[in-house]
Amino acid sequence: MKTFHELGLEAEILNVLDEIKFVNPTPIQEQAIPFLLESNSNLIASAQTGTGKTAAFGLPIIQKIDSNINQIQALILSPTRELALQIAKDITVYSKYEKKLKTVTVYGGASIDTQIRELSRGAHIVVGTPGRVLDLIKRKRLIVGKLRFLVLDEADEMLNMGFKDELDAILAGTPDNKQNLLFSATMPPEMERIAKKYISDAHRISVAKQNIGASTVKHQYYIVQARDRYKAIKRLVDYNTDIYGIVFCRTRMETKEVADKLMADGYNADALHGDLSQAQRDYVMGRFRKKQIQLLVATDVAARGLDVDNLSHIINYNLPDDSEIYIHRSGRTGRAGKEGISISIMHLRENSKLRSIEKMVGKRFEKKEVPQGSEICERQLFHLINKMQNVDIEHERIAPFLPAIYKKLEHLSKEEIIQGFVSMEFNRFLDYYKNAQDLNVSGRPEKGKEPFQRNKGNLQRFYINLGTKDNVGVGDLLSLVSKNLRNREAKIGKVDLLKTFSFFEVDKKYTDKILSSFKGKEFNGREIFVQKAENNEPKRRNKRRSR
């Protein structure tokens, strides 16, 4: 393995790398850096997410830019604002000792005037999203006539997001003799066409699939009925008490659904998908980074390129159709020599998909059994006991209360006191998992056992005078109901969301609680009205006269 010094990097950069503890170059860096330092030819490079592509193009560009010339010399295009900010942040770090070098970031959803002012103060490197970059070029505020380097980062994602026209327009105004660099995690056929068009005679580097088998990721899978996916996730999360990870879903809809359910069930989760505003995305990501959120439920696109360390688990809510997507997902854990686990929830018919993913990863995946209710209870119990053993006791603050408490508990034995405290915390889990079924599917699917939700016998159906017209979604209703129930383990069944009213099902034994707790409550200034529904099916005919 080579050192950064051997790759030809100058002292100013080597010092930074030393400071930020980049000891050895990653494979893509080892190939791209010397090439870019020596050659002015185009480059097309692909390597999986998390392999250090930013430094692979960033370091040589920083070294080659002449910061005495006050011109934009490098333009780095990236599909999202988060990525643009992350790249700019990395470049600022790497160029710490290149005092004169200036980097400006431009992206939509923020004041263009501020960005124009920053550009007018001079920039050598501009990092931006295609839409805003094009806008600024058209206003003649971002001058690309003297570009020496153009980087398309996460180029495949830019294509997916439909930036093709913007890219065409941006590239049209740049000099022919600049060096074009394309960095991507995958190289789908459409990309090849783009590459041919803009990035002629390119040198190619691909380390996409090589270093995966050697990584520290454990791959595990669980086979359940499709309808039990959510329950299985819940159990895995309950079992892995310190989980910190991303749950990958296929669609925005599914992402929302899973996140809403997890939140309604009292988990520390949130969703990241394309329907969120920029501010919402920043907020969610910030909380996840700070570990205020334990589970981020995300689509592949929304999570692409975001760099979060120390994830304990990746959960594939579904096996992705494309093996490469699996590799990108699982590559987000097990970083920096730490161990990570990539979990897939799948059903029996997905066996061939599993085989092809295993082939690509180059490892057999381990089949695991979804923990039984009793195992989870045991795990939670010992988690609780460990927590108790390690808790910081604030002697001074509790001292005033202790005499009275000791007195009150005087007649109980040590065993009884322990039993009482354990039960208090723990009954929830015992209750929830009391009649929990085995979710594992071994050979053929079990017949006859319907999931709880379908068992109308246990559920009461309610009418509520809120619907899509009130901007209420299924998730909103679920959280409204569970908020009023004040009981995160109460079973909530099907929700039928209609325009002006909706139905939801809740465990029969909470009927009175529901009726009384909603009484007098308001939603957006309108009084909420809940009553028992007569029928078990939505009365769609009544829609019009319901209000």
Q: Which is nearer to ligand ADP, 130 or 467 (CB)?
A: 130
Contact status: 340 vs ligand ADP (CB under 6 A): no
Min CB(19)–ligand ADP separation in Å:
12
Q: Which of the choices ligand ADP, Mg ion, none does residue 184 contact, using the CB cut-off of 5 to 8 A by kind? A: none
- What is the number of the residue whose Cβ is closest to ligand ADP? 52
- C-alpha span between 270 and 288 (Å, rounded): 9
H helix count then E strand count, the chain:
21, 20
Min CB(359)–ligand ADP separation in Å:
23
Site string for ligand ADP, 33-62 (x = CB under 6 A): --------------x-xxxxxxx-------
- What is the number of the residue whose Cβ is closest to Mg ion? 53
* CA nearest neighbour of 140 among 123, 124, 116: 116
Min CB(299)–ligand ADP separation in Å:
17
Contact status: 323 vs ligand ADP (CB under 6 A): no
Min CB(275)–ligand ADP separation in Å:
24
Rule CB under 6 A: which of 248-307 touch ligand ADP? Answer: 305, 307
Q: Taking a C-beta distance cutoff of 8 angstroms, is the pair 458, 491 a contact?
A: yes
Q: Which of the choices ligand ADP, Mg ion, none does residue 307 contact, using the CB cut-off of 5 to 8 A by kind? A: ligand ADP
Helix spans in 446-504 (H)? 474-485
φ/ψ region of 21 (left if φ > 0, alpha if ψ in -120 to 50, else beta) reads left
Say which residue the tokens 């490469």 belong to. 324
Q: Which is nearer to ligand ADP, 14 or 497 (CB)?
A: 14
Q: Which of the choices ligand ADP, Mg ion, none does residue 294 contact, using the CB cut-off of 5 to 8 A by kind? A: none
What sign results for the dihedral spanned by CA atoms 198, 200, 206, 209? positive
Phi, psi angle pair for 206, to nearest 5°: -140, 120
Rule CB under 5 A: which of 287-316 touch Mg ion? Answer: 305
Min CB(185)–ligand ADP separation in Å:
7
Q: Which of the choices Mg ion, ligand ADP, none does residue 50 contact, using the CB cut-off of 5 to 8 A by kind? A: ligand ADP
- C-alpha span between 529 and 94 (Å, rounded): 59
User: DSSP letters along 407-428, please?
Assistant: HHHTTS-HHHHHHHHHHHHHHH
Q: Which is nearer to ligand ADP, 83 or 170 (CB)?
A: 83
Site string for Mg ion, 166-205 (x = CB under 5 A): ----------------------------------------
Rule CB under 5 A: which of 365-394 touch Mg ion? Answer: none
Q: Which listed range, 18-26, 143-151, 318-326, 516-524, lies at the site for ligand ADP (CB under 6 A)?
A: 18-26
SS3 of residue 85 by DSSP: helix
Q: Which is nearer to ligand ADP, 128 or 475 (CB)?
A: 128
Q: Which is nearer to ligand ADP, 25 or 79 (CB)?
A: 25
Q: How far is CA 327 from CA 27, 313, 316, in A?
A: 17, 14, 11
φ/ψ region of 231 (left if φ > 0, alpha if ψ in -120 to 50, else beta) reads alpha
Site string for ligand ADP, 81-120 (x = CB under 6 A): ----------------------------------------
Q: Which of 4, 17, 53, 155 binds Mg ion (CB under 5 A)?
A: 53
Q: Taking a C-beta distance cutoff of 8 angstroms, is the pair 134, 170 a contact?
A: yes
* CA nearest neighbour of 58 among 48, 135, 141, 78: 78
Helix spans in 121-240 (H)? 130-138, 155-160, 164-172, 189-198, 229-239
Q: Taking a C-beta distance cutoff of 8 angstroms, is the pair 530, 514 a contact?
A: yes
Number of CB atoms found within 10 A of residue 382's CB: 11
Q: Which of the choices Mg ion, ligand ADP, none does residue 340 contact, using the CB cut-off of 5 to 8 A by kind? A: none
Min CB(87)–ligand ADP separation in Å:
8
Number of CB atoms found within 10 A of residue 368's CB: 15
Min CB(383)–ligand ADP separation in Å:
30
Q: Which is nearer to Mg ion, 53 or 235 (CB)?
A: 53
Q: Which listed range, 46-54, 313-321, 414-422, 426-434, lies at the site for Mg ion (CB under 5 A)?
A: 46-54
- C-alpha span between 6 and 156 (Å, rounded): 31
Helix spans in 369-413 (H)? 373-390, 395-398, 402-409
Contact status: 332 vs Mg ion (CB under 5 A): no
Count of chain residues binding Mg ion (CB under 5 A): 2
Question: Can you give the binding site for Mg ion, defined by CB under 5 A?
Answer: 53, 305
Question: Can you give the binding site for ligand ADP, defined by CB under 6 A?
Answer: 22, 25-26, 29, 47, 49-55, 305, 307
